[in-house]
Amino acid sequence: MRTTLFLLFSATLLHAQTPALEQMIEVRGGTLPIILTVPHGGTLKPENILARRYGVVAMDANTAELSEMIIEELQKLYGGKPHAIFCRLHRSKVDCNREIKEAAQGDATAEASWHRFHEGAQKACDSVMKKHGLGLLLDIHGQRHLDPRVELGYLVNSDQLKASDAELNADVALIAKTSIRELDKRSPQSFAELLRGTQSLGALLEARGIRSLPSATKAHPGFMASYFSGAYDVTAHGSRDGGTVSAIQVECPSLGVRDTPANQRRFAKALAESLGVYFETHFGRKLK
């Protein structure tokens, strides 16, 4: 008995130290035109991967759990699952929301995991485009800025968001560089409405009790306020450089969204509901 327990314990320990690539990066197929990428929710710290020496190394707590609930709520409402790519490695080992150099810092195993994450995301986008002709990738994160709002990132920065709606709509160069470039062409609404109109994702979330930015009540972050406008994942997998899958970085505050299972569930429901309206309004498709 004692030997069995010991063997079991050793096996678990060994397992924890050297997980397989499929365990470090979990890729799940789906049926909906939605892809979730979760780069910073991992906790695994295998010893055979060197610790990253620069860049942010803190994880986004509870974003893996939150994403599981988003998957469940989407399935309840629309009868299908989104594609999902989870990085299970801790951010101190790899940062899948950065280009490979900063992400893996030369470690071969970290590099392999980075490739699996992005190949998984790319295959999911290809599969969604093939099946549905269009789609949306949400890159799920956590932040702790002073004003606890869900920050939606479209590769439009804080200063750019300070422009008026008319200025934004006229800025062809800016629109061409956003992660929702193709969706802007498709949506019957203007670019500014897509970002912060009454049927923007931020406004749809606010209508369901989730404070968000940009939205109809909060056009831009305000003077000196922190705001994440999007990083590697939405740049690489959104429609900026082509394709019909657009991408939004979803930066969730801890307070009211990530902090408790009840709040996680409330957000997951609000997001799933909002996505149904969002798809119908802007993509011209029903999710169900």
For Zn ion, the closer of residues 168 and 257 by Cβ is: 257
Candidates 18-26, 55-63, 212-220, 230-238: pick the segment binding Zn ion (CB under 5 A): 55-63
User: Is residue 91 a contact residue for Zn ion (CB under 5 A)?
Assistant: no
Q: Taking the complex as a whole, how short is the minimal distance between the CB of residue 98 and Zn ion, in angstroms?
A: 10
Q: Taking the complex as a whole, how short is the minimal distance between the CB of residue 31 and Zn ion, in angstroms?
A: 27
User: Is residue 258 a contact residue for Zn ion (CB under 5 A)?
Assistant: no
For Zn ion, the closer of residues 88 and 141 by Cβ is: 141
Q: Taking the complex as a whole, how short is the minimal distance between the CB of residue 57 and Zn ion, in angstroms?
A: 11
What tokens appear for 121 in the block?
């995301």
For Zn ion, the closer of residues 60 and 182 by Cβ is: 60
User: Is residue 141 a contact residue for Zn ion (CB under 5 A)?
Assistant: yes
What tokens appear for 134 in the block?
């269009």
**Position among 34, 60, 114, 149 found at the interface with Zn ion (CB under 5 A):** 60
What tokens appear for 234 in the block?
């939405």
Q: Taking the complex as a whole, how short is the minimal distance between the CB of residue 141 and Zn ion, in angstroms?
A: 3
- How distant is the alpha carbon of residue 189 from its chain centre? 23
- 76-105 in b/e burial notation, b at 16+ Cβ within 10 A? ebbeebbbbbbbbbbbbbbbbbbebeebbb
For Zn ion, the closer of residues 40 and 196 by Cβ is: 40
Closest CA to 152 of 58, 220, 63, 69: 220
Q: Which residue is nearest to Zn ion (CB)?
A: 141
For Zn ion, the closer of residues 219 and 248 by Cβ is: 248
For residue 73, CA distances in Å to 67, 100, 249, 267, 271 come to 10, 33, 19, 10, 9
Using CB under 5 A as the binding rule, the residues of this chain from 192 to 221 that contact Zn ion are none
Candidates 140-148, 182-190, 203-211, 212-220: pick the segment binding Zn ion (CB under 5 A): 140-148
For residue 146, CA distances in Å to 56, 79, 220 come to 18, 37, 15
**Position among 30, 33, 34, 40 found at the interface with Zn ion (CB under 5 A):** 40
Q: Taking the complex as a whole, how short is the minimal distance between the CB of residue 172 and Zn ion, in angstroms?
A: 30
Q: Taking the complex as a whole, how short is the minimal distance between the CB of residue 25 and Zn ion, in angstroms?
A: 16
| Residue found under tokens 């929702």 | 180
For Zn ion, the closer of residues 52 and 141 by Cβ is: 141
- 3-state SS class at 136: strand
For Zn ion, the closer of residues 175 and 250 by Cβ is: 250
For residue 72, CA distances in Å to 16, 82, 211 come to 27, 9, 22
DSSP string, 94-105: --TTS-HHHHHT
User: Is residue 240 a contact residue for Zn ion (CB under 5 A)?
Assistant: no
What tokens appear for 62 in the block?
């509870």
**CA-CA distance, 216 to 105, in Å (whole number)?**
40
- 3-state SS class at 197: coil
For Zn ion, the closer of residues 41 and 197 by Cβ is: 41
Q: Taking the complex as a whole, how short is the minimal distance between the CB of residue 67 and Zn ion, in angstroms?
A: 12
Report the run of H or E that residue 224 belongs to, with start and end.
none
Q: Taking the complex as a whole, how short is the minimal distance between the CB of residue 60 and Zn ion, in angstroms?
A: 4
Contact residues for Zn ion, defined by CB under 5 A: 40, 60, 141
